[in-house]
Amino acid sequence: MPPSVQTAVRRASPAALDAFPDLFLDYCTDFDAVSDFYAGDWQADAAARRPADRGVLADTLLDQNERWGLGAATRRHIETLRDPESVAIVTGQQMGLFTGPLYTIYKTITTLQLTEEWAAQTGRPVVPVFWVEGEDHDFEEIATAHVLHRNEVVPLSYEPEVEDNPGAVGRLALTDAIHEGLDRLDEVLPPSDFKPGVMERVRAAYRPGTRIEDAFAQLMRSLFEDEGLVFVNPDDARLKAL
């Protein structure tokens, strides 16, 4: 882990970002306006007291993370979630091509640092969790990455033949079209001592036949394999039933 850094937390209203539909804003800040559409207010005290089956959660996370290369530290963190005193710090992102924008990595590092800080401050077990947004329906958004090459931004694209509305894009299996993006990434990444290892990890994750959500999670796991980061894919009936 990199050394801990000084952090500051600032609260911002979603409305201040001017980027969300009214339904989302009402759900976050004026639940009475949309209460007919939902089973309960997520901010109500009763929601916090609602019992959670931590056993089912942990068992599901073990199954999911086994697919992506479950390390010892991640296993320990998943088992920790069975403890009713444990809490989680959760970040997440859509499954961008080859991990997507760099802020995905920054968010993950920040979560790992906050996990250490909050555990030290509270004395409670704290687990870092990454939410893999596999149910996103915007294929174009996750199918392009950008790399700096000789002071230019070079786009890398995955362009298979897909339906106009493929549904949850995380479920889509990669096709042979992924090779073009992999070869282009290998071409534009500058030579370094780290490049062979990076490309080995990327190619190991992004293989034809692998689902997009699994490729993303496997690559992210390989980048943070010693940190105990727990990945969760919400597109799982066992989690939806909790």
Work out the angle at residue 172's Cα, subtended by the Cα atoms of residues 169 and 175, and round it to the nearest 5 degrees.
130
Instruction: Give residues with Cβ within 8 angstroms of 56, minimum separation 6.
Output: 238, 241, 242
> Which long-range contacts does 2-11 make (Cβ < 8 Å, 24+ apart)?
2/109, 2/113, 4/113, 4/116, 4/117, 5/113, 7/110, 7/113, 7/114, 7/117
Q: In the prediction, which pLDDT does 17 show?
A: 80
Categorise residue 100: left if φ over 0, alpha if ψ from -120 to 50, beta otherwise. Answer: left
What pLDDT was estimated at residue 81? Answer: 97
Q: Quote the CA–CA distance of 166 and 188 in Å, as a whole number.
A: 30
Q: pLDDT truncated to tens, each residue of the chain (242 aa)?
A: 545 555 566 777 788 888 889 999 999 889 999 999 998 898 888 777 777 799 999 999 999 999 999 999 999 999 999 999 999 999 999 999 999 999 999 999 999 999 999 999 999 999 999 999 989 888 888 999 999 998 899 999 999 987 666 788 899 999 999 999 999 999 999 999 999 999 999 999 999 999 999 999 999 999 998 999 999 999 999 998 88
pLDDT for the residue 43: 84
Going by C-beta distance under 8 Å and a sequence separation of 6 or more, which residues neighbour residue 227?
1, 73, 112, 128
Q: What is the pLDDT of residue 202?
A: 98
- How many Å apart are CA 227 and CA 109, to the nearest integer? 10
Residue 64, CB-side half-sphere exposure with 13 Å CA sphere? 29
